[in-house]
Structures are given as C-alpha cells and as structure tokens.
Amino acid sequence: LSKKRIYEMLIFEGFNSDTAQYAINHLQADYKENALAKAREYRKYSNLSKTKIYDWLTSPSIDKFTKEEANYAIQHLGD
C-alpha cells in the first residue's frame, strides 16, 4: 500500500490523525517496492498497459502512490 492509503485506512479504523501520522512516520515501509508489487499484480491479473498501471498507481482515488514511486514500479516492472 501507499503511504496515503495506509494513513486513510488507519483513520477509517478509528485512529485519530495524530496517531495515524505517528504510525506513518515510524513505519519502515519501502513504498517503491510496494508500488512495484501492486504494478506486478495489475499486470498479472488485469494485463494493463504500463501507462494504465501508472495512472492507477498515482490515482488520487485508487492507489495514491507518488509519481516517483509509480515511476520506479514501471521502470522495474519487467525485472
């Protein structure tokens, strides 16, 4: 998951914004690798183009990864 999606999930689960932000600040996640894993999932199950995968990864209503994270995922999708 992206940082934004994790934050939103914590809020949805009832954590207040300070607690959710604290968790995000101390979570040792590799968001580029998370984006790559999601991109590989899209490729495997949906056979989407790299452009469409990038759009979904960076969509403010879908995955919410940063452009940098999505670019990393697209660049390493064939690895």
Q: Domain range for residue 57?
A: 3-75
CATH number of 39's domain: 1.10.10.10
d(CA 18, CA 77) in angstroms, rounded, equals 35
Work out how many domains the chain is built from and give that number.
1
Structure confidence by residue, pLDDT tens digits, 54-69: 999 999 999 999 999 9
Q: Report the predicted TM-score, pTM, of the whole model to 2 decimal places.
A: 0.89
Contacts of range 39-48, beta carbons closer than 8 Å, 24 or more positions apart: 39/70, 39/73, 39/74, 39/77, 40/77, 43/77
pLDDT attached to residue 24: 96
pLDDT attached to residue 55: 97
Structure confidence by residue, pLDDT tens digits, 8-54: 999 999 999 999 999 999 999 999 999 999 999 999 999 889 999 99
